[in-house]
Structure 1
Amino acid sequence: MSALTIMLVDDHPIVREGYRRLLERQSGYRVVAEAETAAAAYQAYRSAKPDVVVMDLSLPGPGGLEAIRHIRQWDKGARILVFSMHQSAPFALKAFEAGAAGYVTKTSPPEELVRAVETVARGGRSLSSDIADEIAAERLTARGGAFDDLAPREVEILRMFASGRTADEIADQLALSLKTVQNYHYQIKAKLGARTDAHLVWLAIGGGFLLAEEPVRDPPR
């Protein structure tokens, strides 16, 4: 049998090395590519064509949602497993909407990641138990609210805005016009009912779209 090929996407080299060692201890698993940004992930995927992508969501600049969306635009059959610190049900659901096939949190036991890689490689879907519980609780209590109305690209722009990037920076990093980003900004505020930009940032953090340890600059005014 040929080896199962894997690409790792995370902006921390030491973390990627840990994943590599864990996965390559499994018989027939081989890491063939690594990337630390959304743009690099897209290029590496096109070059290596791995069987499975293990993708973090918190990347510098455009995040993992944008990377998932871009890869899936190029290859509808791409099998992408999110491996993230985000334990937010809305964020996990947006990852699936963008095209992910699995979602495992970094607080999960190592064997849960290995099982998820195997499941996604077979064409299945996988959720770690903690995020499955979060999604179930959200659905039972209807906590998703206005976030359900946001498209994955809107969530990515919300995340970038909440981390302190200006509209010009977002436009440059996502290859969009400034006017388009401004329109997205207006639409996101309207959908979430945000009264001010500060309120929008507060909503993004409360919804789990920005981790507490992610660097945050002062929000644009």
Structure 2
Amino acid sequence: MKPTPTLLGEFVCIVDPSPIFAEGLRRLAEEESGQDQPVVAVTPESLARHFPVFLADGTLPSVVIMDACIHDDFDSFEWIARIREAAPACVFVVVLRVLDYFLLTKAVAHETSVMVSRDDPCLVFRHAYQAAVMGGSFLSHSVARKIGTTLQQEKWLNQSPLSGREMDVLIRLGVGRTASEIADEFNLSPKTVGTYRTRLLKKLGLRTNADISFFCLQHFPKLVRASLGFEPLAMETPLHRDDATPGGPPWHPTTAFDTEGDTQTEFSSRSESTASRTRPDSIANLPRLGQRHTRLVDL
């Protein structure tokens, strides 16, 4: 392992739990910054130990490449706020492991202007780094597309109320129930359940049942857990349309949003599976590339 460079003034700080991925980011940063700035790579856990040293020495980072993760011991976006307070001129490149509603919402709330996906090719990381150094904004295509999809879904949810029956079908599809099981539960025909499913897919801009499951975890984690038997239904849980007050308004989904709860648990397995699949031109493969592809620009 190479020794940590001596901190002489401003430096580039890489915060990532994967040694292989961090090594790829380190090579990219060294190519872009040349000999002007040392590059320091730390894990999220060790950042808490290094940061007081940086403050004491007055050697604060000018660029931080941060893996976006939120758990009990570490919140990337809280650290972004702390670093920004100590070093207002510092710029950030946020690397998203999974493009989910919760992380994107947190990133936008913390005014993150440069974001890439962990699965983006190396050239995209290079463009993101250059944009950050120049004080610009950069969203990779995959991140921008996910933000667009999220906005489309939220627009529909804010404008189109859901009936109790539609919510019944949506949540049960989200937890993996088949059309036949849902039909038996509500005395419907499987064809009617299929019609509900097709309508929901079209309105939400989704394609598969897996998309429905992820959407339900994003917006209705409490209802999903209740449907799986992990916790009792809350009093404000929507009732069946048949049981609602006659002539009353349909239930509106915005009243059940749970965007501030701890939803990272639901996404942890998805994050791990996403992180394990890397493209041939991924940052994570950079240290293992042959001599012909030593430089990112040659990819």
The answer to whether the superposition gives a TM-score over 0.5 is yes
Which of 24, 31, 52 is 1:25 aligned to? Answer: 31
Deviates more, 1:67-76 or 1:129-138: 67-76
1:117 aligns with 2:129: yes
Which of 71, 85, 95 is 2:83 aligned to? Answer: 71
Assess if the C-alpha contact under 8 Å between 1:41 and 1:67 holds in 2: no
Structure with higher RCO (Cα < 8 A, 6+ apart)? 2
Task: Give deviations 1:105-153, integer Å, cap 9, x for gaps.
Answer: 111010111111111111111111101001011112217979xxxxxxx
Task: Give deviations 1:76-116, integer Å, cap 9, x for gaps.
Answer: 33211101212124412312322433111111010111111
Give the count of matched residue pairs.
Answer: 167
Aligned residue number for residue 141 of structure 1: 153
Deviates more, 1:55-64 or 1:75-84: 55-64
- Note closer, same or farther for the CA distance 1:193–1:132 as it changes in structure 2 (3 Å cut): closer
Q: Give the alignment's TM-score, normalised by structure 1.
A: 0.60
1:39 aligns with 2:51: no
**Gapped runs of 5+ residues in structure 1?**
147-190, 215-221
C-alpha separation between the residues in 2 aligned to 1:120 and 1:138? 24
Give the CA deviation at 1:211: 4.9
Q: Secondary structure at the match of 2:119?
A: coil
Aligned residue number for residue 158 of structure 1: none
C-alpha separation between the residues in 1 aligned to 2:54 and 2:116? 20
Aligned residue number for residue 97 of structure 1: 109
Task: Give deviations 1:152-177, integer Å, cap 9, x for gaps.
Answer: xxxxxxxxxxxxxxxxxxxxxxxxxx
Q: Give the alignment's TM-score, normalised by structure 2.
A: 0.46
Aligned residue number for residue 222 of structure 2: 194
1:10 aligns with 2:30: no
Deviates more, 1:51-60 or 1:132-141: 51-60
C-alpha separation between the residues in 2 aligned to 1:20 and 1:132? 25
C-alpha separation between the residues in 2 aligned to 1:54 and 1:27? 13
C-alpha separation between the residues in 1 aligned to 2:262 and 2:41? 33
Stretches (4+) displaced over 6 A: 143-146
Give the CA deviation at 1:22: 2.8
